[in-house]
Each structure stands twice: as structure tokens, then as C-alpha cells.
């Protein structure tokens, strides 16, 4: 079995040379790696989202990528992919929860082989709905303003600061700040509509 | 077409934000009625902007963070507890969960012998197939270790889909907990703890076992002694995690903050000297109350050991020979560290025990008044604290 590490390094190189397909191919690899790491790190959560996400992503990077072989730009690409992977890990988890709830019946909390047992609980329905709505809203934003959506991904799910996000996206910190402001306003509005609708479907009186 | 419309919207949004709040209505009115829907959209965006920052701060805290915690497993599955208990049968009765790192840790009662034990349970996917065999081999090696400063392994077995091992319960607290509470320790305590740790490491290394995850959380303080726990577990867990080549290269799991540079960079060659580095870091932290890298983030902390020279020990009551010895352990290149733990111990013991600082003005007491007040002698640990990990 070849180690996935060599592949990730090679793919990052390909991205470096402008291969857009390599970026997409990277995603599942980084995703798996992060999941594995998150799993191994169970219990080291300190309750600081930014710090924890950053530590996780960087640990993944250190473990996975042969630093000597890669230029600094590849780091940026790795972090971009990792931010996206984190988003999917969290949002898929939330959607899973939402779906189970809407499917009716009691959530299935038995252990399933190959599933992270700890990842099967303790998110309220409201939290799960909110995350699912955030993800959907982000998808909508991606369609109209891709870079702004990337900024949210990096900052929110990749735990990156303004400077790091700027480096990853290849824009100025000033642009990141502006994108961040616009994206939040846009998402805020979008989510208000979505969550209202969810809420209305369940509990709102028809007169409202 | 869509893109240019959104581009226009973004442009207007950013321009509107530069307009003072009071004049925004005016700004919107100036847009005219040519594109009423664009104006409406801008209006709703500006309204959303008012609360967006708070909303997202709150969102991070109230939704993203818990999801992350759940995925990371900080919140633990209650059903799993029942399942572990079911798998253990009548031999052990779980009393409480103690937290833990990669595995789950329980305080349990050994019902036959009527004594308390600590049970560490590995996640099911690590207990599967060939990796379980690897784990068992490593555990067998670790089980050979018998030393007064090493928490021994009692049993290792599989039950249901779990792999677990048991250790005696040590009443006391971890060095991590003590450091978090008291900050830097009195030189005498730090020396005594370090000596115990090194003594245990020397024995393990002589038996061919490298700890690989020496950190304050793995050092237990009980009565007058320090004991190392989780010996070889990082290695065994790495072996159990599957990739044999990876394990051979030393890419095993450890705790990033205390890992040696060669573990972090995974350059393929790690040996007993990773323990010397980590033990050096632990001693540094006992003396200075922090790690020797000034860093604003976890990432920099991990990377700093590869790129930066550790800050020197500034504490005035620390004998310079001791400071120098600790700094030697922190050499980036393993060859520049003390060659063996035995050699390190010999050097440590050659340093005079008592040396009062000439001046008291700059002593640890005055630098850390609050902490100095709280400091406890090593033989007065709080035995009511039940904690296996910091």
C-alpha cells in the first residue's frame, strides 16, 4: 500500500503548477487525514475554536507533508483544502443529525463500525439546523461570489486569521477584510430566511 | 450577467459602508428607481450587516464550536460507556470517567480484588485486525517494565470490540494539573520530580522502551514521588493505527507541544533521545512556568522548535549548571543532547542541591508573588484530587 502522504505532497506540487484538477483530487485525501487526526486527538479539545482548528490543521500538515520538498505556497494550498475539508466534516455531521431528526423516531446512537463513536452526539437540533443552514447559505454564496465564500471557509472552518487567509487566497489582507464583511452580511440575511422557514414549518402559528 | 450584478451589489455595499450611518438613506435614495430590486437587496444587506458581526461570533460559539467538539469527541457518547461496561462484564465496575487523550479513561473497581484500577479503552477501529496484534506486542514489551517511578500495566485484553489495558489507580494529581495551578515550582520540587522522571526513563530505555509522549499530563505526583504513566502507549497506539512504515519512521502520535523536533518534522529517525528532549521541556516548564518558545498560536509553538532557539532560563534562583543542562536537552539536533538518560542523570546529580540565590530581590518569589504564596512542598500534594491526566 502506498502511503497517502506521498500522494498529497505530489498533488500539492501539481496544484503549484496550476493543475486545477489536482486541487479537487486533494480534497478527499486531506479530508480523511483530518478525520483520522481529529479522531486520534479526541479529548484534547480546549474549547477555543480557532486555536483547536488551527492546531489540528497544522498537525495534519506536519504529519502529511514533507516540508523539505515543498515551497511555502504549497502550504497555502494545503490550508485552503484543509479549511474546506473541515467545513465538510462539521457540516456533514450536522446534516446527519438534522436528517435523523426529521426522519422521525429516536436518533440512532448505537456504535457503527468505522464511525467515530464520539461523533454521534451532543449537538442540539437547533445547532445542527443552524450549521446545515450555514452550509447551504455558503453554497449559495459560492455560486454568486466564490472568493467571499472562500474567505468564510478559511476564517470560520480553517481557523485562519486575516493574514493567513490573504496568503491562502492570494489577495491582500484589505480585500480579505472587505470580503469577510460582505460575506457575513450576505450570509446573515440568507440564514435568517432559512432558519425562519425551518422554524415556521414546525412551530409557528399560521397567523404570523 | 449574474456575476456582474453581484459585483455591482458588492461595490455598492462597500461604498454604502463608507457613508456615515445617518446619510445611508440618502445614499440609497440617490440610487434611483432604475433597479429597485438591487436597491432592496442592498437595503436588506445593510440591515443584516448591523447584526452580522455579533451573529457570527455567536454562531462560532453556539454552533460551529460544539460541532467541532462533538466531532473531536470532547463530548463523549454515553451509550459507549454502557457498551464498555457490558464488554467488561463483571470483572470491572466503572465508577467514573477520568477524561483522557486518544483513548477513553475510566476509574473502575476490580470486583474480584476489591481495588481501584484505571482502565484505558482504545477506540474500536484501532482494536480491529492486525493493528490489535501490533498493539498487543508493544503492550507486552511495556508490561515488562517494573520500576518504582513507572505506573505498571496490570492487564491488557480485548472485550467485545474494544481493546483495553488496566493500571493501578494512583491517587494524586498530574504534573500538568499542578503546573496549571501553581505555575513554576520551587527548584527543589522541580529537581525531585525531574530526577524521578529521568530515573524511570533510564530504566525503560535500558529495557528498549521509549516513551515518546513525555509531558506533564503523563507524570503523576503521588505522595513523595513522581510516576510516569502511559509508557510506550504512544508507540503502541501508533503501531495499532496501522501504517507500519509510518510507525517505523517515528511518525507516531504524541502531543505536539512536547514533541521533539525530529518527531515534529518526521524526518525518519527518532530514538530514545526524543524522551530526553521532552523531559527537558517538562523541566523547563517546571522552572519557568511556560514552554521556551514565545508563541501566539499552537501552530507556531509546534513549528518554533524547528526554527528557533529556545529562550534561556532566566529564573535567578536556578543554578546555572542546571539551566545549562536543561538547555542541552533542548538541542534541536539529537546528537547535541546528553547521549543517554544515564549520562543526564549523572550530570544532574553532580550539580549541588542547595544554593541560595545571593540576592533575594529578583528571586522567583518576588517575580511570581501569587504563585509563590500558593506553592506547596512536594510531600503535601492534595490527595483529594482524583485525576490521571492534566
Burial B299-323 (b: 16+ CB within 10 A, else e): bebbbbbeeeebbebebebbbeebb
Q: What is the pLDDT of residues B314-333, one digit of tens each?
A: 999 999 999 999 999 999 99
Most confident of A41-45, B153-157, B234-238, B367-371: B153-157
Taking only residues 152 to 191 of chain B, the set having a beta carbon closer than 8 angstroms to any beta carbon of chain A reads 161
How far lies A64's CA from each of A15, A39, A76, B267, B299, in Å?
16, 16, 14, 12, 15
How far away is chain A from the Cα of B360, in angstroms, using its nearest Cα? Answer: 37
Q: What is the pLDDT of residues A90-105, one digit of tens each?
A: 887 777 776 665 544 3
Q: What confidence score (pLDDT) does residue B329 get?
A: 97
Q: What confidence score (pLDDT) does residue B341 get?
A: 97
- Report DSSP state, residue A41: T
Distance of alpha carbon B200 from alpha carbon B149, whole angstroms? 5
* A127–B67 C-beta distance less than 8 A: yes
ipTM of the complex model: 0.72
* A145–B6 C-beta distance less than 8 A: yes
| DSSP codes of every residue in B250-269 | T-----GGG--HHHHHT-S-
- Report DSSP state, residue B111: T
Q: What is the pLDDT of residues B136-186, one digit of tens each?
A: 777 777 788 899 999 998 888 877 777 788 889 988 888 988 998 899 999
Cell numbers found for residue B189: 520540587
The residue-averaged pLDDT of B253-271 equals 71
Q: Which H helix or E strand runs over A186?
A: helix A173-202
Distance of alpha carbon B160 from alpha carbon B166, whole angstroms? 16
Q: What confidence score (pLDDT) does residue A91 get?
A: 83
The better pLDDT of the pair B167, B105 is held by B167
Whether the pLDDT of residue A170 is over 80: the answer is yes
Q: What confidence score (pLDDT) does residue B189 get?
A: 94
Taking only residues 39 to 68 of chain B, the set having a beta carbon closer than 8 angstroms to any beta carbon of chain A reads 44-49, 51-53, 55-56, 59-68
- Residue A64, C-beta contacts closer than 8 angstroms, at least 6 positions apart: A4, A5, A8, A9, A30, A33, A78
Most confident of A48-62, B138-152, B372-386: B138-152
Q: How confident is residue A1, by pLDDT bands cut at 50, 70 and 90? A: very low
Percentage, residues of chain B above pLDDT 90: 32
How far away is chain A from the Cα of B230, in angstroms, using its nearest Cα? Answer: 15
β-strand partners of B172:
B386
How far away is chain B from the Cα of A18, in angstroms, using its nearest Cα? Answer: 24
Taking only residues 208 to 247 of chain B, the set having a beta carbon closer than 8 angstroms to any beta carbon of chain A reads 237, 241, 243, 245-246
Distance of alpha carbon B273 from alpha carbon B141, whole angstroms? 19
Size of interface A-B (CB pairs under 8 A): 194
* A43–B48 C-beta distance less than 8 A: no
Residue in B6, B55, B77 nearest the CB of A120: B77
List of chain B residues whose C-beta atoms are within 8 Å of the C-beta of residue A188: 48-49, 51-52, 55-56
Residue B250: HSE in the Cβ half-sphere, 13 Å Cα cutoff? 21
> The dihedral of CA B368, B372, B377, B380: what is its sign?
negative
Whether the pLDDT of residue B334 is over 80: the answer is yes
Residue A129: HSE in the Cβ half-sphere, 13 Å Cα cutoff? 16
List of chain A residues whose C-beta atoms are within 8 Å of the C-beta of residue B13: 182, 185
List of chain B residues whose C-beta atoms are within 8 Å of the C-beta of residue A113: 124-125, 161
Q: What confidence score (pLDDT) does residue A82 get?
A: 83
Whether the pLDDT of residue A72 is over 90: the answer is no
Contact A121, A109 (CB under 8 A): yes
Q: Which H helix or E strand runs over A24?
A: helix A20-40
Q: What confidence score (pLDDT) does residue A208 get?
A: 27
Percentage, residues of chain B above pLDDT 70: 72
Task: Report helix, strand or coil for B58.
Answer: helix
Whether the pLDDT of residue A122 is over 80: the answer is no
* B71–A58 C-beta distance less than 8 A: no
Q: How confident is residue B4, by pLDDT bands cut at 50, 70 and 90? A: confident
How far away is chain B from the Cα of A42, in angstroms, using its nearest Cα? Answer: 5
B18 and chain A in contact, CB less than 8 A: no
Q: How confident is residue B5, by pLDDT bands cut at 50, 70 and 90? A: confident
Distance of alpha carbon B255 from alpha carbon B214, whole angstroms? 8
Contact B310, B293 (CB under 8 A): yes
Q: Which of B125, B270, B299 to mutate to test the interface with A (most CBs of A within 10 A)?
A: B299
Q: What is the pLDDT of residues B235-247, one digit of tens each?
A: 665 555 544 333 3
**Is-above-0.80 flag for pTM?**
no
- Give the number of other Cβ atoms within 10 Å of residue A196's Cβ: 13
Q: What confidence score (pLDDT) does residue A183 get?
A: 96
The residue-averaged pLDDT of B87-113 equals 78
Of B110, B122, B117, B115, residue with least CA distance to B159: B122
Catalytic residue status for B213: yes
A106 and chain B in contact, CB less than 8 A: no
* A187–B265 C-beta distance less than 8 A: no
What residue spans of chain B are helical by DSSP H? 2-18, 24-30, 36-59, 65-72, 78-88, 129-143, 175-182, 187-206, 233-240, 244-248, 261-265, 273-288, 298-307, 320-329, 341-350, 364-367, 369-374
The better pLDDT of the pair B140, B117 is held by B117
How far lies B353's CA from each of A204, B286, B320, B356, B377, in Å?
74, 16, 12, 10, 16
How far away is chain B from the Cα of A10, in angstroms, using its nearest Cα? Answer: 18
If you search the block for the grid coordinates 524526518, which residue do you land on?
B267
Q: What confidence score (pLDDT) does residue A47 get?
A: 52
Distance of alpha carbon A179 from alpha carbon B17, whole angstroms? 13
Of the given ranges (A117-126, B59-68, B88-97, B276-285), which has the lowest mean pLDDT?
A117-126
Of the given ranges (A13-22, A32-41, B12-21, B277-286), which has the lowest mean pLDDT?
A32-41
The better pLDDT of the pair B390, B286 is held by B286
Q: How confident is residue B80, by pLDDT bands cut at 50, 70 and 90? A: low
* B125–A114 C-beta distance less than 8 A: yes
* A54–B66 C-beta distance less than 8 A: no
Most confident of A97-106, A117-126, B74-83, B135-144: B135-144
Cell numbers found for residue A118: 464520539
Of the given ranges (B136-140, B271-275, B355-359), which has the lowest mean pLDDT?
B355-359
Most confident of B51-55, B161-165, B240-244, B368-372: B51-55
Q: What confidence score (pLDDT) does residue B131 get?
A: 61
The residue-averaged pLDDT of B214-222 equals 91
Q: What confidence score (pLDDT) does residue B100 get?
A: 52
* B70–A189 C-beta distance less than 8 A: no
List of chain A residues whose C-beta atoms are within 8 Å of the C-beta of residue B3: 144
Residue B13: HSE in the Cβ half-sphere, 13 Å Cα cutoff? 27
Cell numbers found for residue B343: 549520562
B79 and chain A in contact, CB less than 8 A: yes
The residue-averaged pLDDT of B121-125 equals 65
List of chain A residues whose C-beta atoms are within 8 Å of the C-beta of residue B99: 43
List of chain A residues whose C-beta atoms are within 8 Å of the C-beta of residue B75: 118, 121-122
| DSSP codes of every residue in A101-168 | HHT-S----S--TTS-GGGGS---HHHHHHHHHHHHHHHHHHHH-HHHHHHHIIIIIS---HHHHHHH
Distance of alpha carbon B314 from alpha carbon B320, whole angstroms? 10
Distance of alpha carbon B288 from alpha carbon B211, whole angstroms? 24
Q: Which of these is catalytic: B189, B213, B275, B317? A: B213
Task: Report helix, strand or coil for B297.
Answer: coil
How far away is chain B from the Cα of A143, in angstroms, using its nearest Cα? Answer: 9
Q: What is the pLDDT of residues B178-212, one digit of tens each?
A: 998 899 999 999 999 999 999 999 999 998 888 88
CA dihedral B233, B238, B242, B248 (to 10 degrees): -120
Whether the pLDDT of residue B366 is over 50: the answer is no
Amino acid at each position: 500500500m502506498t502511503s497517502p502522504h506521498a500522494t498529497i505532497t505530489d498533488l500539492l506540487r501539481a496544484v503549484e503548477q496550476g493543475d486545477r484538477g489536482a486541487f479537487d483530487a486533494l480534497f478527499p485525501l486531506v479530508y480523511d487525514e483530518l478525520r483520522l487526526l481529529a479522531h486520534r486527538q479526541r479529548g484534547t479539545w480546549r474549547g477555543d475554536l480557532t486555536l483547536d482548528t488551527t492546531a489540528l490543521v497544522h498537525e495534519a500538515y506536519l504529519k502529511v507533508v514533507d516540508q523539505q520538498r515543498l515551497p511555502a505556497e504549497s502550504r497555502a494550498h494545503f490550508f485552503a483544502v484543509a479549511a474546506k475539508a473541515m467545513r465538510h466534516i462539521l457540516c456533514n455531521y450536522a446534516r446527519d443529525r438534522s436528517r435523523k431528526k426529521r426522519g422521525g423516531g429516536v436518533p440512532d446512537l448505537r456504535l457503527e463500525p468505522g464511525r467515530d463513536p464520539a461523533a454521534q452526539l451532543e449537538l442540539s437540533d437547533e445547532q445542527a439546523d443552524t450549521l446545515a443552514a450555514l452550509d447551504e447559505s455558503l453554497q449559495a454564496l459560492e455560486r454568486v461570489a466564490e472568493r467571499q465564500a472562500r474567505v468564510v471557509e478559511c476564517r470560520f472552518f480553517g481557523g485562519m486569521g486575516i493574514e493567513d487567509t490573504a496568503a491562502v487566497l492570494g489577495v491582500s489582507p484589505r480585500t480579505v477584510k472587505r470580503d469577510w464583511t460582505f460575506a457575513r452580511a450576505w450570509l446573515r440575511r440568507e440564514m435568517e430566511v432559512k432558519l425562519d422557514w425551518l422554524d415556521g414549518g414546525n412551530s409557528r402559528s399560521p397567523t404570523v | 450577467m449574474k456575476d456582474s450584478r453581484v459585483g455591482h451589489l458588492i461595490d455598492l455595499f462597500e461604498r454604502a459602508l463608507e457613508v456615515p450611518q445617518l446619510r445611508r438613506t440618502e445614499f440609497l435614495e440617490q440610487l434611483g428607481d432604475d433597479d429597485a430590486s438591487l436597491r432592496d437587496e442592498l437595503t436588506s444587506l445593510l440591515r443584516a450587516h448591523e447584526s452580522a458581526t455579533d451573529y457570527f461570533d455567536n454562531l462560532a460559539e453556539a454552533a460551529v464550536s460544539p460541532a467541532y467538539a462533538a466531532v473531536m469527541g470532547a463530548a463523549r457518547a454515553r451509550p459507549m460507556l454502557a457498551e464498555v461496561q457490558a464488554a467488561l462484564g463483571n470483572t470491572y465496575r466503572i465508577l467514573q470517567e477520568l477524561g483522557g487523550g486518544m483513548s477513553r479513561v475510566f476509574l473502575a473497581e476490580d470486583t474480584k480484588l476489591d481495588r481501584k484500577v484505571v482502565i484505558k479503552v482504545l477506540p474500536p477501529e484501532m482494536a480491529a485486525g492486525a493493528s490489535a496484534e501490533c498493539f498487543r506486542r508493544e503492550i507486552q514489551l511495556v508490561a515488562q517494565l517494573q520500576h518504582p517511578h513507572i505506573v505498571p500495566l496490570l492487564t491488557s485484553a480485548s472485550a467485545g470490540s474494544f481493546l483495553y489495558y488496566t493500571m493501578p489507580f494512583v491517587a494524586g494529581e498530574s504534573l500538568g494539573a499542578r503546573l496549571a495551578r501553581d505555575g513554576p515550582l520551587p527548584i527543589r520540587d522541580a529537581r525531585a520530580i525531574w530526577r524521578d522522571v529521568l530515573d524511570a526513563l533510564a530504566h525503560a530505555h535500558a529495557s528498549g522502551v521509549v516513551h515518546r509522549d513525555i509531558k506533564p499530563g503523563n507524570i503523576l505526583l503521588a505522595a513523595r514521588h513522581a510516576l510516569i504513566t502511559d509508557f510506550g502507549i504512544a508507540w503502541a497506539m501508533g503501531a495499532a493505527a496501522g501504517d507500519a512504515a509510518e510507525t517505523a519512521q517515528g511518525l507516531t502520535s504524541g502531543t505536539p507541544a512536547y514533541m521533539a523536533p525530529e518527531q515534529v518534522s518526521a524526518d525518519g529517525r527518532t530514538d530514545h533521545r526524543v524522551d530526553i528532549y521532552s523531559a527537558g521541556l517538562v523541566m523547563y516548564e517546571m522552572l519557568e512556568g511556560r514552554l521556551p518558545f514565545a508563541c501566539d498560536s499552537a501552530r507556531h509553538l509546534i513549528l518554533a522548535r524547528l526554527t528557533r532557539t529556545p529562550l534561556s532560563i532566566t529564573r535567578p534562583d536556578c543554578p546555572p549548571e542546571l539551566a545549562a543542562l536543561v538547555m542541552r536537552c533542548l538541542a534541536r539536533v539529537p546528537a547535541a543532547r546528553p547521549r543517554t538518560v544515564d549520562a543526564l542523570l549523572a550530570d544532574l546529580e553532580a550539580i549541588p542541591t542547595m544554593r541560595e540565590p545571593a540576592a533575594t530581590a529578583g528571586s522567583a518569589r518576588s517575580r511570581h508573588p501569587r504563585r509563590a504564596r500558593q506553592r506547596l512542598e512536594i510531600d503535601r500534594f492534595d490527595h483529594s484530587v482524583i485525576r490521571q491526566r492534566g
